[in-house]
Amino acid sequence: TGFSSESDFEDYIRSTVNSRNVLAAIVKYYLRFSSVKKNINAGAYLQEHSWFTKFLFPPGHLEKPRNLLDADGGSPGYISEGFLAVQHALDKAIMLHHGGAAAKALFNDISLFIQRFPTPAFHYNLFYKLANIFIPLTVACTFFMNYITLVQSVVWEKENQLKRSYWFGDTPQTNPEITQFHETIQSKYFEAEPADLIPGIRIKHLHKVFKKSNTIKVAIEDLSLNLYEGQISVLLGHNGAGKSTTLAILSGLYPPTRGEAYVYGYDISQNMAQIRKSLGLCPQHNLLFDHLTVSEHLYFYCRVKGVPQKVCLEETNNMLSAFNLLEKRDEFSKSLSGGMKRKLAVIIALIGGSKVVILDEPTSGMDPASRRTIWDLLQAYKHDRTILLTTHYMDEADVLGDRIAIMVQGTLQCCGSSVFLKRLYGIGYHVVMVKEPHCDTDEISKLIHGYASTATLKTNVGNELSFILPQEYTQKFEALFTALEENQERLGISSFGVSITTMEEVFFRVSNMEDSKSDIQATQSPSVGSKENKNEGVPSTMIGGFPTHSEDPTIVFNTGVRTFAKKQCSLYRQQFHAMFIKRLIYNWRNWRVLLVQILGLVISALFLLKPHDLSNEDEKTRQMNLDEYGQTIVPFSVSGKSNLTTSLLTQLENMLKPGNHKLKEVQGDLLKYLEGSEECIHLCIIALSMEVVENRTELTVLFNNEAYHSPSLSLAVLDNILFMSLSGADASITVSNKPQPHPQAKKSLGSIEGKVVALKIQLGMALLVSGFCLLTVTERSTKAKHMQFLSGVSVLVYWLSALMLDFIIFFISCCLLLVVFKYCKIDIYVTDYHVLETMLILTLFGWSAIPLTYLMSFLFSKSTSAYIKLTMFNYVSGIFSILIDTVIVAQIPATMSNTTKTFLLNALLLFPTYNLGKCIGDYTVIYQRKIQCTQQKNVPKYLNCSKE
């Protein structure tokens, strides 16, 4: 078939199914062979179907000679595909056309042969080949694990606020301005500040606002407070009142939204580095290093605070002795009890001569004896220090607090000594009596009102009777108590006692008044009359905002409620729904982590698979020109001389001279020279042997098979010198290999081998599947799973609900992976009904990989560590198992018995990632064979296209 132009020929190849019947086309001395090889085994890699016209040599280092067992040189198949036969036939036709009778006589007198270079001795060790593959991966994984561990430790320190952020530094100031607040808060709810003490901490109009999405949370609002050296200042407040936030701002963990705070004259917004030199902090939660002993903790913080090395040991011993921890000095912090850990945290805050000590609930988790010890030590260490602490123990605040400040909803309500606050908010004294059976309550009340007319009955529960006596009647208390004692038997009083208002009552009073939107600063001590008016319509169990016990407590049981015993199936269904919704809410709230899992698969697959889309482009043209290989050596040998051999050598020398190639005559056996010469291994591309036998000349051209195109190049050189001997030195033949464009049938193969696809998606699959361990590890480590089982959740329901939701996420991710395949033009997995087959492979992988992730999650106690290590396990097991199957089992069958091979294959089946790669690889081979069987008329026997 002839074509008017090259473009018409290309259109014919692309659009016509019969393009496979075209052997070669001649266009301007181009040989255009099919891009789909006809004599390559169907099981070969797709790369073997290429002519490699883009390369001169194989990329990378080869452990042994290329295609060692192929006498014709093997891939790309210049001899087996008929390229050399067509090339020589064309060259011969050209020479006969131009040479006429002389050319005929020439070809009658010569015989042409082509031969591969002999293979020199080489050392091949399987270990080196395997090491070349596995050692880089092993080293990379080793360093990667170190990197992961380093990142994990840094993140752990930052999460626990042990490490400051270096992305936003402090503005250095060498001479900070010592700011003095001359104004003081003038209010009866704030006790006058001591004039003879040095203020260690000054806070003025401090605000802190947290913003998250569209939500604004005001944590601190207009806080102004002075804390003095030599005193222990106590900050009280309900949970969420702003106490811990205030401490965090003073210690530099959070920046204030606005306002000012100074620590010994240093501004916390500008001089935090200077403040930290004399700052000691005991946070609410113990921030200790698990693998440091008690003494190592103290030595470390001493050195950090600049204490000389000689003094560190002495101060460490003094602190341990004072806090009764000497016998625990060499134990790791993780082995200490909760109370001892709190002691160690307090010591860390005090050690090193800290001038400012901030203690956030320092005695939480301690036994009463240890709490008392800490109180005594804080009292002893408060001199020359400014100590600020928060607590929920009112007795602790009463004992330790030189000044007590109470915060409610981020605002400061009052501040002063314990006596000042009790006098300010106290409702008086409490008289508590134990009643006899004949007790006359009315007579007792009449007697008390005779001395304190505004006294109030507080409780009358069982055998207990109590009254509240206002403070203004203290001068009459002696007469009142004398009268009660004299009339004790007549009134029916077994015994009685008196107590003053406690800090707990003051705290509740301040908090309740704020919560009820009352103006604390307008509160006055109520009289009996006003109390009666206020309590109208209020149950008798509430007086003055405090609960009373005037009635016996009763427990009401709702006996009318019927208990329904649910059927077992209905119960399981209800539990499954609850567990599924719980897990769904967790993923919804942690959508960033879920997004990392899904996008990790999609982006990694897109990034790794996209470059292979370029391989669908048509191959470039390769001209057979020896000059492209640089300066080479062309060995030749001549056995017997004739006019023809002399002419051919002359033309060969003229041909090689412009490229500075070296023509070297070999005396003796040319094959032995090529086999033993070290310089010829890399510099010899072609060689020529001429032997005169009787009246015929045998011309043998040899090619170095390490170069892809050396067979065609060697024949082109031989034909050119023959043509030049016939037509003159200016004659030449230029031969180029320009493969035909890829037909649609080949493009549908996907241009990438199946196991390579599996290798490319291993990282994304590892990121996706390993993420399903996060919630399971978290629930187990926090005992939440145990609580669910105690509540009656079935073990089967727990795991099935987890598997169901995780598989839905996996299925959606796999659908996105198919979109990536389509985008990257790997159509073998997504065209026609193949998408169902591909989804079946991925689904089976998910059903096996997700339960394995659950099983392996029991090896870990931290979710982040589990995610990282399981990702590494899945990725490495996927890569290594596929490499083992490909390299060890497939490429060295002669050195491995069938039993060993079967054992290895069965062992690899334990890894879902291996099964994924095996399925995708075998599916690709089967599909390729099916395409070749259906589209070729004369099907080779090795394809085995039988339907059985």
| pLDDT tens per residue across span 85-114 | 999 999 999 888 888 888 899 998 899 999
Same domain membership, residue 329 and residue 299:
yes
Same domain membership, residue 762 and residue 726:
no
767 touches 871 (CB < 8 A):
yes
- Among 314, 344, 374, residue at a domain's last position: 344
- Rounded-to-integer distance, Cα 197 and Cα 208, Å: 28
Same domain membership, residue 871 and residue 754:
yes
Confidence band for 800, pLDDT divided at 50, 70 and 90:
very high
> 764 vs 468, 862, 919, CA distance in Å?
72, 22, 17
Give percent of the chain with pLDDT exceeding 70.
Answer: 80
First to last CA, the chain: 39
State residue 932's pLDDT score. 66
**CA geometry: angle 606, 608, 613, nearest 5 deg:** 80
- Rounded-to-integer distance, Cα 925 and Cα 41, Å: 11
Same domain membership, residue 751 and residue 860:
yes
Owning domain of residue 434:
427-533
Is the pLDDT at 165 greater than 50? The verdict is: no
CATH code for the domain of 446: 3.30.70.250
User: Could you tell me if residue 594 is inside a domain?
Assistant: no
User: Could you tell me if residue 801 is inside a domain?
Assistant: yes
Tokens of 438: 């004949």
58 touches 708 (CB < 8 A):
yes
593 touches 774 (CB < 8 A):
yes
- Rounded-to-integer distance, Cα 424 and Cα 507, Å: 12
Angle between helices 863-883 and 834-856 (to 10 degrees): 130
Q: Position 695: which residue type?
A: N
State residue 348's pLDDT score. 93
Q: Three-state DSSP class for 703?
A: strand
- Number of neighbours of residue 195 by Cβ within 10 angstroms: 6
- Among 835, 856, 876, residue at a domain's last position: 876
595 touches 813 (CB < 8 A):
no
User: What's the length of the chain?
Assistant: 948
Instruction: Output the 3-class SS for 391-447.
Output: CCCHHHHHHHCCEEEEEECCEEEEEECHHHHHHHHCCCEEEEEEECCCCCHHHHHHH
User: Could you tell me if residue 434 is inside a domain?
Assistant: yes
- List, in order, residues 6 or more apart from 233 with CB less than 8 Å away: 227, 386, 387, 388, 389, 401, 402, 403, 404, 405
The arithmetic mean of pLDDT across residues 776-800, rounded, is 90
Is the pLDDT at 679 greater than 60? The verdict is: yes
Same domain membership, residue 750 and residue 732:
no
Q: Which residues pair with 497 in a beta bridge?
A: 432
Same domain membership, residue 767 and residue 720:
no
Least confident of 144-158, 835-849, 869-883: 144-158
State residue 515's pLDDT score. 61
The arithmetic mean of pLDDT across residues 401-422, rounded, is 91
User: Could you tell me if residue 917 is inside a domain?
Assistant: no
User: Could you tell me if residue 101 is inside a domain?
Assistant: yes
Same domain membership, residue 504 and residue 479:
yes
Give the count of domains, the chain: 4
844 touches 852 (CB < 8 A):
no
Same domain membership, residue 438 and residue 328:
no
**Of residues 819 and 13, more confidently modeled:** 819
Q: Position 849: which residue type?
A: A
User: Could you tell me if residue 933 is inside a domain?
Assistant: no
Q: Position 675: which residue type?
A: E
State residue 171's pLDDT score. 46
Give, for 45, the enclosing helix (H) or strand (E).
none
Give percent of the chain with pLDDT exceeding 90.
Answer: 33
**Residue 473 DSSP one-character state:** G
Least confident of 129-143, 288-302, 575-589, 652-666: 129-143
Same domain membership, residue 101 and residue 30:
yes
User: Could you tell me if residue 71 is inside a domain?
Assistant: yes
Question: Does pTM top 0.85 for this prediction?
Answer: no
- Rounded-to-integer distance, Cα 35 and Cα 617, Å: 11
User: Could you tell me if residue 929 is inside a domain?
Assistant: no
State residue 180's pLDDT score. 45
State residue 159's pLDDT score. 62
Is the pLDDT at 38 greater than 50? The verdict is: yes
Same domain membership, residue 865 and residue 760:
yes
- Rounded-to-integer distance, Cα 649 and Cα 31, Å: 28
- Among 533, 557, 572, residue at a domain's last position: 533
Q: Three-state DSSP class for 40?
A: coil
User: Which of 715, 717, 618, 737 has the alpha carbon at shortest distance from 24?
Assistant: 737
Tokens of 374: 């800490």
769 touches 849 (CB < 8 A):
yes
- Tens of pLDDT, residue by residue over 224-280, are 999 999 999 999 998 888 998 999 999 888 899 999 999 999 999 888 888 888 899
Rg, Å, the chain Cα set: 46
- List, in order, residues 6 or more apart from 855 with CB less than 8 Å away: none
- Rounded-to-integer distance, Cα 931 and Cα 929, Å: 5
Same domain membership, residue 749 and residue 733:
no
Confidence band for 937, pLDDT divided at 50, 70 and 90:
low
Assess whether the previous peptide bond of 76 is cis (omega < 30° from 0). Answer: yes
Same domain membership, residue 751 and residue 727:
no
User: Which of 601, 427, 442 has the alpha carbon at shortest distance from 526?
Assistant: 427
Query: Parallel, antiparallel, or unpaired: how do β-strands 258-263 and 279-282 relate?
Result: unpaired
> 298 vs 253, 279, 307, 317, 330, CA distance in Å?
22, 15, 11, 9, 11
Q: Cite the DSSP H helix spans in 452-567.
A: 477-486, 488-491, 503-515, 528-534
687 touches 670 (CB < 8 A):
yes
